[in-house]
Amino acid sequence: MRAHLLLAVGIFGLIEAVAPGPLVRVLTRVAYRNADDAEAKPWVLTAARIEGAVIVVGALVGLFRLARADGSTPDRRDDGGPTPEPGAE
């Protein structure tokens, strides 16, 4: 479930980073009663693009940590051999 949430957040961040204009317009219409009178300052699209990139990086880091925690790394010694059982020599 957490992986699905991170994936959805990452996709949202990617959309925000690639196409911030339409997303800002849609969210402005959702947030304001009279969105036609609202005018964004010039730096808003740049800030939205940066925010989207940060969200994508955060989602990727979260997915990577989640994959590592699930045991996707092989259980081996540094020399490539299998890890010995505890107590066995």
DSSP track, 19-80? -HHHHHHHHHHHH-TTTTS----THHHHHHHHHHHHHHHHHHHHHHHHHHHTT-S--B-TTS
Domain extents in the chain: 2-31+43-69
CA–CA distance, 80 with 45 (Å, rounded to integer)? 50
Which pTM does this prediction carry?
0.72
pLDDT digits (tens, 9 = 90+) for 39-80: 889 999 999 999 999 999 999 999 999 999 877 555 555 566
| Tokens 């010995």, located at residue | 84
What is the spatial distance between Cα 39 and Cα 77, in angstroms, rounded to a whole number?
60
| Percent of the chain whose predicted confidence (pLDDT) is above 90 | 63
Per-residue pLDDT, 17:
97
